[in-house]
Amino acid sequence: MRPMLDSLPVLYRDLLPEFFQKGVPVETKATCDTCAMCPSSASGTVESVDGVSRLFRPDTKCCTYYPRLPNYLIGALLSDGRAELAEGRRRMEEKMGSRLGVTPQWVKASARYNLLYRNSRQFFGRAASMRCPYYEEQQGGCTIWPYREAVCSTFFCKYVAGADGRKFWMTLKTYLTLTEIQLSRYAVLQLLPEYILAGRDKPELTDSPSVEDLDERPLPAKDYAALWGKWEGREAEFYRACHDLVRALTPEQVDKLLGLDGVIELKVLEKSHRDAVAPELPKVLKLNPEATVKWLADGSVALGAYSEYDAVALPGLAYALLVEFTGLEPVEKVRERLRQEKQADLHEDILLELYRHRILTTA
What are the distances in angstroms from CA 341 to CA 126, 285, 317, 335? Answer: 48, 19, 15, 10
Q: Which of 23-37, 79-93, 96-110, 348-362 has the lowest mean pLDDT?
A: 23-37
| Cα 161 from chain centroid (whole Å) | 15
Residue 52 has phi, psi (to 5 degrees) of: -100, 125
Q: Residue 330's closest CA among 281, 285, 362, 360?
A: 285
- What SS3 state is found at 321? helix
Question: Following DSSP, what letter does each residue of 146-195 receive, concatenated?
Answer: GG--HHHHH--SS-TTHHHHHHHHHHHHHHHHHHHHHHHHHHHHHH-HHH
- Decide if 355 contacts 288 (C-beta within 8 A): no
Spatial separation of the C-alpha atoms in residues 158 and 156, rounded to whole Å: 5
* Listed residue (285, 279, 262, 287) closest to 333, CA to CA: 285
Q: What is the pLDDT of residue 120?
A: 79
213-261 residue pLDDT tens: 889 999 999 999 999 999 999 999 999 999 999 999 999 999 999 999 9
Model confidence pLDDT, tens digit, residues 134-168: 999 888 899 999 999 999 999 999 999 999 999 99
pLDDT value, residue 308: 87
Across 46-50, 88-92, 179-183, 358-362, least confident range: 46-50
Q: What is the model's pLDDT at position 185?
A: 98
Return the CA Rg of the chain.
Answer: 24
For residue 177, pLDDT over 90 is answered with yes
Segments making up each domain of the chain, as ranges: 2-277, 286-361
Q: What is the mean pLDDT of the chain?
A: 93
What pLDDT, on the 0 to 100 scale, is given for residue 139?
80
Q: What confidence category does residue 203 fall into, taking pLDDT thresholds of 50, 70 and 90?
A: confident
pTM above 0.85, yes or no: yes
